[in-house]
Amino acid sequence: MALLITDECINCDVCEPECPNDAIYMGQEIYEIDPTKCTECVGHFDEPQCQQVCPVSCIPFNPEWRESKEKLQAKYERLQAELKTAT
């Protein structure tokens, strides 16, 4: 399951640099998460890093993107492979 930033976001800029997958970006008004890049931090950390640092707790799981641990692991591996081909 990917994570989602709600409109309670105060644009504090804290989460964006914490994401190991570069899944967080500034949207039209608030920060957003690209669900195709969010692995719940699987492959990098035990806990979603953005959730840990958000001062207003506005990063819940995205109910539209339900994925098993195996799928998240596969997404992580795909992203790593893409990184390698990009460098």
Structural element, H or E, at residue 33:
strand 31-33
* Residues in 14-53 at the binding interface with ligand SF4, rule: CB under 6 A: 14-15, 18-19, 21, 23-24, 31, 33, 38-41, 48-50, 53
> How many degrees, rounded to 5, is the angle at CA 10 between CA 28 and CA 51?
100
Place of tokens 């105060």: 10
Q: 51 near 59, Cβ under 8 Å?
A: yes
Stretch that binds ligand SF4, among 55-63, 65-73, 78-86 (CB under 6 A): 55-63
Interface residue list for ligand SF4 (CB under 6 A): 3, 5, 9-15, 18-19, 21, 23-24, 31, 33, 38-41, 48-50, 53-54, 56, 58-59
